[in-house]
Amino acid sequence: MKFLESVSFGQYVPSNSWMHRLDPRTKVCGLILLLAGVFMASKPYDWPIWVVMLLLCAHAARTGLGFLFRSIRTVLVLILVTSVLNLFFAEGEPIWQWGIFSVSREGIQLAWTMALRLILLVLFANLLTLTTSPMALSDGLERLFSPFKPVGFPAHELAMMMTIALRFIPTLLNETDRILKAQLARGADLDRGSIMKRMKAFIPVLVPLFVIVFQTADDLAIAMEARCYRGGEGRTRMKPFNWRLADTAALLFCAALIVGQKLLNWYAG
């Protein structure tokens, strides 16, 4: 239950910070540029660029680093598994070997590189959800996808599905926490025993959780139909987007970081 209380991914924290005031389209495009730069990073001197950028974004969003770093816990197992697999099974000249397991310099480098990439990916994505409301994010994604509508791309529907998925992450976590507390109050033992025993003990948690998920989806569909929801055709917005100079400057700065990283690699190489 402590794990569920520490999850921050998917949550929106209202504020009047500089990042909160940016256009949602700017933040989505900026996130894409930052993640592209993170995945292109491969040298040791590349990583300080993106770590400093992350700290600057967190400061601009007025988000506490402790609260931001909580989102890593949700993917900690994935990060560890990915790092271990790259450490022991990457190709290269082995410096240690035991049976089918071997460790090479290339494996060590690939392991910590993938770990850093995943950590930065999660933290940058978490900054987007922390500083953008679900409605603004949905409208921004729809506007970004709208140029593809003439070829039959479902821009509004896809944006709506992505926003609903993000919106219900905290709701599902709260429901999971409530079910866990109810099962513990009934004497369930979820923290001790072998892995198989723990998996069997979680069945009484997963079954009602799936029931709640489908019931929530059905209630949401009924509510949308009762309000005469017919998609994005003819839909207006109470707060229309306003592209400002700060949005252009933010995107240019993100692009400049990628160009600077490539120039640094070219100069050092």
Tens of pLDDT along the chain (269 residues) come to 444 445 555 678 888 888 999 999 999 999 999 999 998 888 888 889 899 999 999 988 888 777 777 777 777 878 888 888 877 777 777 777 776 677 777 778 888 888 889 899 989 988 888 898 888 888 888 888 888 888 888 888 888 887 788 778 778 878 888 888 888 887 777 667 666 777 777 788 888 888 888 888 889 889 888 888 777 666 667 677 888 899 999 999 999 999 999 888 888 76
Q: What is d(CA 113, CA 129) in angstroms, rounded to the nearest whole number? A: 25
Give domain limits for the chain: 1-132+249-269
Torsion of Cα atoms, 131 then 134 then 136 then 139, to 10°: 140
Helix/strand/coil (H/E/C) assignment for every residue in 14-82: CCCCHHHHCCHHHHHHHHHHHHHHHHHCCCCCCHHHHHHHHHHHHHHCCCCHHHHHHHHHHHHHHHHHH
SS3 for 12? coil
